[in-house]
């Protein structure tokens, strides 16, 4: 339960970090001398998003879905009901 709570908290924190209001009116410092800080922040944010997804895959992967049995033709639920 604690694990789920921490993962929810982490995901929410990453979502909130997207709103970097502190960089709103700033162009400097320039990363590598030409990338404005607001753009550099969100480039780094993309890496953080990838890291978050890695953490979710590692600790919250829906492993039960790997055991799903394929459907059989006679189990189809199509057609008017």
Partner 1 sequence: MIPGLVVFAYLAIILYIGIFAFRQGKATGEDYFVASRSLGPYVFLLSLFGTNMTAFAILGSSGLAYQRGIGVYGMMASASGLVIPLCIFFIGTRLWALGKRFGHMTQVQFFRDRWECSFIGTVIFTLTALMLVPYIIIGMMGGGHTLETLTTVKDTAGNPMMVEVMRNGQAILEPKHWISYELGSAIVALVVMSYVFFGGMRGTAWVNAFQTVMFLTFGTVAFVLIAKNLGGFDHIVERLAANPKTEGLLTRARISPQEFFSYTFIPLSAIMFPHIAIMCMTSEKVTAFKKTVIFYPLCIAAIWLPSVFLGLVAADQFPGLKPGESDDVILRLLTANTGIVVAGFLGAAIMACVMATDSQILALGTMFTKDIVSYYSGAKRLSDSTVVWTGRIFVVAITVVAYFIALALEDKAGIFELAIRFAFSGFAAMAPIMLAALFWKRSTKWGALASALWVAATMAGSWYLYEMSAGMAPKPGQPLVQIFPMLGDLFLRSPGNVLVYGYLPVMPMVLGSAIVMVVVSLLTRPPSRATVEKYFPSDSAPVTIIRRGGSRNH
- Can you give the binding site for partner 1, defined by CB under 8 A? 11, 14-15, 18-21, 23-27, 30, 33-36, 38-39, 41-43, 45-47, 49-50, 52-54, 56-57, 61-62, 64-66, 68-81
Contacts of residue 25, Cβ cutoff 8 Å, sequence gap at least 6? none
CB of residue 71 to partner 1, shortest distance in Å = 4
Nearer to partner 1, 2 or 19 (CB): 19
For 40, the token pair is 């550099």
How many secondary structure helices (H) and strands (E) does the chain include? 2, 0
Yes or no: say if 27 and 38 are a contact pair by the CB < 8 Å rule. Answer: yes
Q: Closer to partner 1 at the Cβ: 2 or 62?
A: 62
Helices (H), 1-81: 2-17, 37-59
Q: CB 72 → partner 1: shortest distance, Å?
A: 8
């Amino acid at each position: 339960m604690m694990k789920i709570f921490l993962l929810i908290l982490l995901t929410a924190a990453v979502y909130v970090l997207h709103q970097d209001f502190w960089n709103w009116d700033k162009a400097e410092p320039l990363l590598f001398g030409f990338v404005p800080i607001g753009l550099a922040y969100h480039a780094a944010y993309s890496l953080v998003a990838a890291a978050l997804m890695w953490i979710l895959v590692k600790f919250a992967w829906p492993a039960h879905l790997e055991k799903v049995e394929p459907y059989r033709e006679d189990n189809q639920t199509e057609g008017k009901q």
